[in-house]
Amino acid sequence: MASDQSHHLLGQETELAIRFQERNGDHPGNKVIFDYMARAIKSIVKTKPGKRNFIQDQFFVQNGGAVYYEHHPQSLRRGLIESATPECHSAHELILYQRAQEALLIKALPMAQKMMSYDGYEGELSLLKNCRDYEGNTYGSQENYDSFVAEGWRWYMLIACLLAYVPFALVLKLVYLTLLVPFVMIIFTSKVFIELLLAISSLGPLEKVLNRIKAGSSWRTFLQSGILRFDFEAEDTEETLLKVEYSLFYPLFWISYKPLIMLYNQFAFGPQRQAIHSHVISRIIFTGAGSLIENDRFILSEKSLAINCFLRRSIHRNDKPLFDCGNLIKEYELALWELFLLRVHSWATLFKREQRLQIAFSDSNRCHFSEFLKVGSTSLVVRLANDGFLNDAPEFLEPIKALGEVSRDIDLKQTYPMKDGSTMNAIEIQQWYCQRAKEYLQTGPVNIEDHEVVRLWEQTLATLQRDPAALLGRVDWITKQYLLSTSGEELDYWGRKKIDLKYHELGDGYFEILQSRGLTLDLFSDEDVERAIYEPSSSRRAKVRSRLIKSIALENHPMTISWSQAKIGRWNPKVISLSDYRKTKEIEEA
């Protein structure tokens, strides 16, 4: 029987490239630009801080969503802005809040640029909602769907292994803390020592001696360098410290995370990933953002070039999986750290039967229709898998190889070997899933949105077979291909690549030009999007999170928020589950 969508949560995280075209040759680095953007956003909506770690600096906004600065530990200056929707109950709601998060960033852009200009950083600031830059670096979107993490013996085995791993993991945390304390002490001792030397070098007699041997200037410059003084407000220094700390502790992180990755890959979401992977790969025929790549070739999916494994294998930055388990590892990490404080709140969340199935391979869409169909169809397919309707789903013989081939097949004709010995093309695979979804919906209560998703899904596949160009303004790769085809033959690859990238620019890109000419399908009014910037989605967690962020009673209390809980107070904080309305109200009134 078809399950009720209202009991399942959806979410999406989207990484946005930062582009700053400086006029005076002075680029501040992306972390500094993010700080300006954060100041601008905080002047528009209420916010509360989230977590901060090696790779993320995060805060939550009043509609329940979040904004991050995401970077590799060894590249602080070249990070991305990541925007996450609040938890939503339907594809329609999720895309509305995706639009709202983008609208918030668009509002903040001119404000951030003005602040930067005031501080001497003259230039044009923009954000790109795409998946691939000039240098081939890949980023994009990730989708999250509530799903049963495991059932039967797999569930009990997963829980048993996670509990058995706790002592070993706690020992590793103690080793980390033991090494971290002297590391921090060395940093601060060095800072004090250098400051003392600077003060002494400024004394009259010593300064005369240094000048006499012509060492004063270079000595003072050496001492005053940001790295030696560990000026924590200097981005270069912060990046240096992150690099040193990450390099020192990387072996420890690897030892700590590798068993968790293996456990989750072995026992979590196994049947669902097998059942839906052919959908996730072949859906790029209507969800692909399109990309112009080397040798002036065009492919359906920007992100497909980076995907190199079915599941995450390690914490290495070069791992680009189809499905990820990073969210589960973060939840486990949080639960471990709380054990040191003798708290167990996070363990209840960790051992819930329903967790977030994370699809790491997802193109960033500008077309509302394409993004809606991506989330709507995939949400349905995940529910089919949960309810056992996809036990005979088609499976690619070699999924990662097939992904690259599907992306290169812009004629949508090529067939691919399947595990059962048959061959199918991408449209046929999608038709199989669409037909199974139609049959599934006949077994349960009528859900208007589900039926609308299937209707649009079926129509889109028929149009792709008959006349793909008719999906201009609805499917990104078709829309981008149209722009490139009308750009003129005299343009070289780099000129055409600029058009490719300009299509993805938020607020002022070629997609907005097409939108202003009525060539795209808009699913929401400006009023709906504006309202969603300030009001939470319908999910309980988003409502409680929003209530805490907007609470006047808690305005002056130190607070940090996560996706599952909030902590109020600095020492011995009160912990609120974001599923508990009653406790939230009690704390506000206390």
Res 99 pLDDT > 90: yes
Question: At which of 254, 282, 297 does a domain end?
Answer: 254
Confidence of residue 216 (pLDDT cuts 50, 70, 90): very low
224 band by pLDDT with thresholds 50, 70 and 90 = very low
**Mean per-residue pLDDT over the chain, rounded:** 86
pLDDT band at 239 (very low <50, low <70, confident <90, very high): low
- Whether residues 199 and 119 share a domain: the answer is no
Residue 218: is it exposed, middle or buried by C-beta count within 10 angstroms (0-12/13-18/19+)?
exposed
What is the domain range of residue 22? 13-129+521-590
Residue 445 exposure: Cα atoms within 13 Å on the Cβ side? 5
Residue 453 placed within a domain: no
Between 211 and 164, name the one with better pLDDT: 164
Give pLDDT, residue 1.
58
* pLDDT of the residue at 174: 86
Asked if 545 contacts 561 with a C-beta cutoff of 8 angstroms, the reply is yes
Least confident of 129-143, 292-306, 460-474: 129-143
**What is the rounded average pLDDT of the residues 281-290?**
98
The model's confidence at residue 2, banded by pLDDT at 50, 70 and 90, is low
Q: Reply yes or no on whether the pLDDT at 286 is more than 80.
A: yes
Residue 295: which pLDDT band, with cuts at 50, 70 and 90? Answer: confident
Q: Is residue 410 predicted with pLDDT exceeding 50?
A: yes
pLDDT of residue 231: 42
Number of neighbouring beta carbons within 10 Å of residue 11: 28
Residue 292 Cα to chain centre, angstroms:
23
Q: Are residues 123 and 27 in the same domain?
A: yes
pLDDT band at 575 (very low <50, low <70, confident <90, very high): confident
Q: Which of 234, 254, 274 is the last residue of a domain?
A: 254
User: Quick check: 586 pLDDT over 60?
Assistant: no
How many structural domains compose the chain? 2
Average pLDDT over residues 252-263: 86
* % of the chain at pLDDT higher than 90: 59
Tokens linked to 63:
């509609």
What is the end-to-end Cα distance of the chain in Å, rounded? Answer: 46
Task: Average the pLDDT over 304-321 and give the result.
Answer: 88
**Do residue 117 and residue 196 come from a single domain?**
no
Give the single-character DSSP code of 6.
G
CB contact at 8 A, 45 and 516: no
* pLDDT, tens digit, 9 for 90 and up, residues 117-157: 999 899 999 999 999 887 777 889 999 999 999 989 999 99
Q: Which residue has the higher pLDDT, 243 or 121?
A: 121
pLDDT band at 219 (very low <50, low <70, confident <90, very high): very low
Residue 80 lies in a domain: yes
Indicate if the pLDDT at residue 55 is higher than 80: no
Query: Quick check: 421 pLDDT over 80?
Result: yes
Predicted pLDDT at 63: 97
21 & 96 share domain: yes
Taking the C-alpha atoms of residue 302 and residue 324, their distance in angstroms, rounded to an integer, is 18
So what's the pLDDT on residue 28? 87
- Tell me the whole-structure pTM to 2 decimals: 0.88
Q: Give the pLDDT band (50/70/90) at residue 40.
A: very high
Which of 47, 125, 18 lies closest to 508, judged by CA?
125
Over 50: is that where the pLDDT of 217 sits? no
pLDDT of res. 571? 75
Count CB neighbours of 130 within 10 A.
28
Whether residue 61 is contained in a domain is answered as: yes
Q: Identify the residue with better confidence: 444 or 209.
A: 444
Residue 76 lies in a domain: yes
Mean pLDDT of 396-404: 97
Instruction: Determine the Cα angle at 269 with ends 268 and 271, to 5°.
Output: 125
Last residue of a domain, one of 205, 235, 254: 254
Is 29 in the same domain as 122? yes
Give the percent of the chain with pLDDT over 70: 85
- pLDDT tens for 505-559 read 999 999 999 999 999 999 999 999 999 999 999 999 999 999 999 986 677 788 8
Supply the DSSP string of 333-397, one letter for each residue. HHHHHHHHTT--HHHHHHT-SEEEEEE---PPP--HHHHHHHHHHHHHHHHHHHTT--TT---BS
Q: What is the pLDDT of residue 583?
A: 53
Position 19 in a domain: yes
In a domain? residue 109:
yes
* Other beta carbons within 10 Å of 193: 12
Predicted local distance difference test score (pLDDT) of residue 511 = 96
Residues 189, 93, single domain; the answer is: no
Residue reference for tokens 């889109």: 460
Q: Domain for residue 96, yes or no?
A: yes
What values do phi and psi take at 558, rounded to 5?
Answer: -60, 130
Of 48-52, 245-249, 386-390, 573-577, which gets the smallest average pLDDT?
245-249
Answer whether residue 534 is part of any domain.
yes
Q: How confident is the model at residue 451 (pLDDT cuts 50, 70, 90)?
A: very high
Q: What tokens were used for 166?
A: 């706790």
Same domain, 32 and 122: yes
What are 339-396's pLDDT values in tens digits?
A: 877 777 777 778 888 999 999 999 999 999 999 999 999 999 999 999 999 999 999 9
The residue with greater pLDDT, 400 or 319, is 400
Sequence-ordered list of residues with C-beta below 8 angstroms from that of 498, at least 6 positions apart, any chain: none
Same domain, 192 and 125: no
Residue 580, SS3 per DSSP:
coil
Residue 184 sits in the same domain as residue 111:
no
Residue 71 pLDDT > 60: yes
Q: Do residues 316 and 257 touch, judged by C-beta distance below 8 A?
A: no
